[in-house]
Amino acid sequence: MKGILAIVLGLCLTIPMVSLSGCIETNNTRTEENAQNTSETTQTGSDVVKVDGKDMDTLIKNYMEYRNDYYEKNKELFRKLSEEGQKPKVLFITCSDSRVVPSIITKSDPGDLFVLRNIGNFVPPHESVLNYSSTASAIEYAVSVLKVEHIIVCGHSQCGACAALYDDIPDTPEMMGVNTWLKVAEPVKEHALKEVGKEDKEKLAEFTEKTSIKFQIENLMTYPGVKKRVESGDLSIHGWYFKIESGEVEYYNKNKDEFVPLDKFHQE
């Protein structure tokens, strides 16, 4: 019996090893072939995926530069963030617009900002939280779990979402999400039209963008966790308006109900 068992065990161990060896050789061969094919594709550009006019090869090269340069210089920072977790002091709510980059505008390091982005940098009121749980959950997590000390609502010039409030967007399945989301800012649109009208489009655009920032700050105060911490004095809310064309930031001075250059407000 022992002899038979030994033979069976021997077969069980031997067969998979041979098979596995073959798989490794085959996979290695395929990996090499895939690498060659990828290289050829990159060189010929026949099937390259385009991203804003640039192929993926550019992004990959930039990633490699990041790994070899930025990451190497900041290894200790990433080690600390990995071992100790994130402890950001700021929740930065801004638009998904590719021209607005929070870490560049504020010259922040990884771990400094907890960033929430959506088209228009809108904040749905808490009463509608079940319809917009993605945005609400990010706010609640930042305020009640991470315990951020500041919330910045950063709008910007040439905002497509604010402009879309005045467009007749087709009611189609492809735009269902956009149409639903823009309804969050209907009060902004109504207020802007009432205050400045629609004759001067440039004036209306900027007024809408800045008014939206103020409305989102008001909506933030409908969140129980936000309201509680603001009233206790350990959470502050700020309104920023980023001007893409000049790189300037204007700060919303609530006491005077006006936007002033951030550097000037800081000096005051």
* pLDDT tens-digit series, residues 43-52: 444 455 555 5
Alpha carbons 235 and 227: distance in angstroms, whole number: 9
Least confident stretch, 4-18, 85-99, 204-218, 237-251: 4-18
The Cα-based distances of 249 to 2, 47, 149, 201 in angstroms read 82, 41, 20, 22
SS3 154: strand
Alpha carbons 147 and 238: distance in angstroms, whole number: 16
Alpha carbons 147 and 150: distance in angstroms, whole number: 9
And the tokens for 113? 């900002």
Q: What is the pLDDT of residues 99-118, one digit of tens each?
A: 999 999 999 999 999 999 99
Structural domains of the chain, ranges and CATH numbers in brackets: 44-73 (no CATH), 86-267 (3.40.1050.10)
Alpha carbons 209 and 214: distance in angstroms, whole number: 9
- How many other CB atoms sit within 10 Å of the CB of residue 133? 12
HSE-CB at 178 with a 13 A cutoff on CA atoms is: 17
pLDDT greater than 50 at residue 154: yes
Alpha carbons 80 and 93: distance in angstroms, whole number: 25
Alpha carbons 148 and 142: distance in angstroms, whole number: 6
pTM of the model: 0.79
HSE-CB at 160 with a 13 A cutoff on CA atoms is: 10
Residues 6+ apart with CB under 8 A from 190: none
